[in-house]
Structure 1
Amino acid sequence: MKLTNVTAAGAALAFLLSTAAMPAFAETTDKRIALSNNYAGNSWRQAMLTSWETVTGKAVADGVVAAADAFTTAENQVTEQAAQIQNLILQGYDAIVINAASPEGLNGAVKEACDAGVVVVSFDGIVTEPCAWRIAVDFKQMGKIQVEYLAERVPDGGNLLEIRGLAGVFVDDEISSGIHQGVAENSQFSIAGSVHGDWAQDVAQKAVAGILPSLSDIKGVVTQGGDGYGAAQAFKAAGRDMPIIIMGNRYDELSWWKEQKDANGYQTMSVSIAPGVSTLAFWVAQQILDGKEVPKDLTVPFLSISQETLEESLKTTQEGGVANVEYSQEEAQDVVSGAM
């Protein structure tokens, strides 16, 4: 009888240990998660959506969740995205992952979702509504380090051209704030001009071409990503000396940099948030639905490429895409554990 009890106890213990080692997604097999994306008009957003589809598609196929559908509004319109979120609530989604058009403008719709029992996780373009979760990089620091890099390269300073992102979006404001803080701390530099490139090389090229005739010698171009190659083309077309242009991890930027490096030793750096942060947001939503405790604010590192790592990074970046990192469920759990 004692032997039987020991055997039963051992079997129970073995079962508990085996289930403890398994990924905790049994409670979310019938859950539906939606992505509400405010904009898709550049290579970073396309890569972000591709990462989402790749990782969530496998999660659905594996039975981790029942659905993980992506929805994109036409052109960064707050009212349209708010209506989209309200529609997703009515469709019965259990969680909504948001790349937001505005940090405050969507708070009403987000609160409606929370009040309806929907988990809301914002990333990249985050929301300030307290009931939502937020995943972001230190965008202000991402702007500041560009100026710090230029201070090392050009100790005497000079004029800088700032290329901003999409007007009114949290990311744009934060990176620009960091750039201006960097200039304030390195007074040998001054912002000679500023344009919006919408994180797209064609928009940036046109904007830079339009402002160049009014600018004197430019020593450096501080950017937000997706605009470096367009800026280079504008300077080339205008017959201007090529400044140090900070790149944003896009394939066209890295390819141009590599060509210039091989031809004349051109040196710069590249920095951006990895598009695969959308997959971290997905797993965070899944973990919350599974009853896990997750801090309301998570910070992830930005992805930086140096003169030394350029070739390696270019090899692993898809043509037309962006240097990237995608998250597994285990990696997302590690991020959460680290934040706890």
Structure 2
Amino acid sequence: MITVAACTAAFSLVGLAASHAADPTAEEQAAALAAVPKEAQKYYGGYWYATNIVADPFANWKPHAPPWKICHNDSYLGNSWRANLVAELKALTKQLADQGLAEPELNVTNSNGDINLELTQLKAQIAQGCDLIMSYPGSATGLCAGIKEAFDKGILFVTIDSTVTCPEALNVATNPYYRGQYEGEWIAKQLGGKGTALIMNGQPGTANTVAQETGFRKAVEAFPDIKVAGSLFGMWTGSVAKTEVLKFLATHPEPVHAVFSTGNMGVGVGQAFEQSGRALPIITEVTNLCSLLAYWKEKNLTANTFVQDGGPMAYSAFIPALHMMAGQKPKVNTIFMPLPSITAENFNDYYDASMTVQSTCFANGKDLHLVPDSYFEQFFTGGEPRAKVEIVSTNAQPQ
């Protein structure tokens, strides 16, 4: 069983390894981004905290012919976001199978936060003949040996919103540094530049965790009267987050005015404050659980969140994978994409009266595509067009 204490220790090692001693110079940043399409470069700020940008990384790589064996290598399946991610990949695999392009069953592994086990599982999937491996990796570096082995055997390894530094992987993600920076600036504005904030991280060691916290801290550094009181780990699971916040508040009597929650934990965070007899803080999130919107409505929170359900995110990563399996070449190894957000101004576009604090759905609104499929076309050259493979998002919004 994975523990938060063990996770914290893992973060101190893996997180430091994934970070950089100094920011690249403006010239170095420009050189790294030269191959990134100009219209997308605005989403790459702070990219070095999450990954490296490698130009033309698959120049000599060729995909296997269909039907493909599609696999998913996951570091943790203990919350609804990850469950929706896997459900979407299973549905997309079946769609390809119905067209004769894939085997019907998605092969799924779960290491439950153990990076050594995840690497072992990845090597087993390679040996089992996977042609395409989708992954939410538990470390920016811990799977590199397996990813290199997959690459050398013509197997495509695609990360879903948690980037790796291994140059043989294709990363498809929203920029975690940007998310942290955005929420740090938003909280600072709401606090008028003065107050105390708490960071509620998810899984230690992932590129998302490292980059989001860095982006947040960099943003609030510009406000000397804002103090970051602590950094906790809740495994992107509300009940775990609630327990960790309760422990923190019991030993930190000073007021906490805002919490940056990095996914699926906003309600647990708020409930911990209530149970402790504390005033509810500003809460920002990066995932759009229906329960959060219900809690937001019930408590009249000052809040915001990105729209980032695991199902639509899996779909977004699958589209570039299909570009490559059709023979096209990516211009860079990391594709960053923007995200919609939910604010007080557009709250009613996502909220539904049937949502409750117990709801497990995600408030995706009417359009389940985080970006249009066409957004990814600018990142590819050559080969057959992806449009020859018909695929649609199937991740519905239950209430």
Give the letter aligned to residue 242 of structure 2: Q
1:268 corresponds to 2:306 = no
Contact 1:47 1:321 in 2 (8 A): no
Give the letter aligned to residue 281 of structure 2: P
Give the letter aligned to residue 322 of structure 1: F
Structural mapping, 1:184-203, within 5 Å: 184-203=221-240
SS in 2 for 1:93: coil
The CA RMSD measured in Å over matched residues stands at: 2.3
Q: Which residue of 2 aligns with 1:257?
A: 296
Give the letter aligned to residue 279 of structure 1: Y
1:57 deviates by 2.3
Choose from 84, 103, 106 the match for 1:66. 103
1:67 deviates by 4.0
Choose from 327, 338, 349 the match for 1:291. 327
**Between 109-118 and 60-69, the greater mean CA deviation after superposition:** 60-69
1:205 deviates by 0.3
Choose from 366, 376, 392 the match for 1:336. 376
Q: Distance in 2 between matches of 1:91 and 1:100?
A: 19
1:51 corresponds to 2:88 = yes
SS in 1 for 2:135: strand
The answer for unaligned runs of 5 or more in structure 1 is 1-26
Q: Which residue of 2 aligns with 1:321?
A: 361
The answer for unaligned runs of 5 or more in structure 2 is 1-63, 381-399
Choose from 269, 272, 278 the match for 1:234. 272
Contact 2:193 2:223 in 1 (8 A): no
Give the TM-score normalised by the residue count of structure 1.
Answer: 0.84
Choose from 312, 317, 325 the match for 1:281. 317
SS in 2 for 1:298: strand
Residues 138-173 of structure 1: per-residue CA shift (max 9 Å, x gap): 111101111211222221411111111111111111
Residues 56-76 of structure 1: per-residue CA shift (max 9 Å, x gap): 322322334334614131412
Q: Distance in 2 between matches of 1:220 and 1:97?
A: 35
1:167 corresponds to 2:204 = yes
Q: Distance in 2 between matches of 1:258 and 1:60?
A: 42
1:217 corresponds to 2:217 = no
Give the letter aligned to residue 82 of structure 2: R
Contact 2:84 2:309 in 1 (8 A): no
Q: Which residue of 2 aligns with 1:24?
A: none
Contact 2:157 2:170 in 1 (8 A): yes
1:112 deviates by 0.8
SS in 1 for 2:212: helix
1:326 deviates by 4.8
Q: Which residue of 1 aligns with 2:127?
A: 90
Contact 1:258 1:311 in 2 (8 A): no
Give the TM-score normalised by the residue count of structure 2.
Answer: 0.72
Q: Distance in 1 between matches of 2:199 and 2:96?
A: 40
Residues 237-283 of structure 1: per-residue CA shift (max 9 Å, x gap): 1111111111331121111001123xxxx321112534222122223
Give the letter aligned to residue 163 of structure 1: M
Choose from 160, 180, 186 the match for 1:149. 186
Residues 74-131 of structure 1: per-residue CA shift (max 9 Å, x gap): 4121111111111111111212112111110100011111111111112222222112
Contact 1:100 1:125 in 2 (8 A): yes
Give the letter aligned to residue 322 of structure 2: Q
Structural mapping, 1:119-158, within 5 Å: 119-158=156-195
Give the letter aligned to residue 142 of structure 2: G
**Between 276-285 and 133-142, the greater mean CA deviation after superposition:** 276-285
Q: Distance in 2 between matches of 1:55 and 1:285?
A: 12
Change (3 A) 1:28 1:327: farther
Q: Which residue of 2 aligns with 1:22?
A: none
Q: Which residue of 1 aligns with 2:390?
A: none
Q: Of Structure 1 and Structure 2, which has the larger fraction of its residues in helix?
A: 1
Q: Distance in 1 between matches of 2:334 and 2:317?
A: 11
Q: Which residue of 1 aligns with 2:394?
A: none
Structure with bigger gyration radius: 1
Contact 2:75 2:113 in 1 (8 A): yes
1:186 deviates by 2.1
Contact 1:164 1:195 in 2 (8 A): yes
Change (3 A) 1:163 1:238: same
Q: Distance in 2 between matches of 1:317 and 1:218?
A: 31
SS in 2 for 1:36: strand
Give the letter aligned to residue 291 of structure 1: G
Change (3 A) 1:97 1:198: same
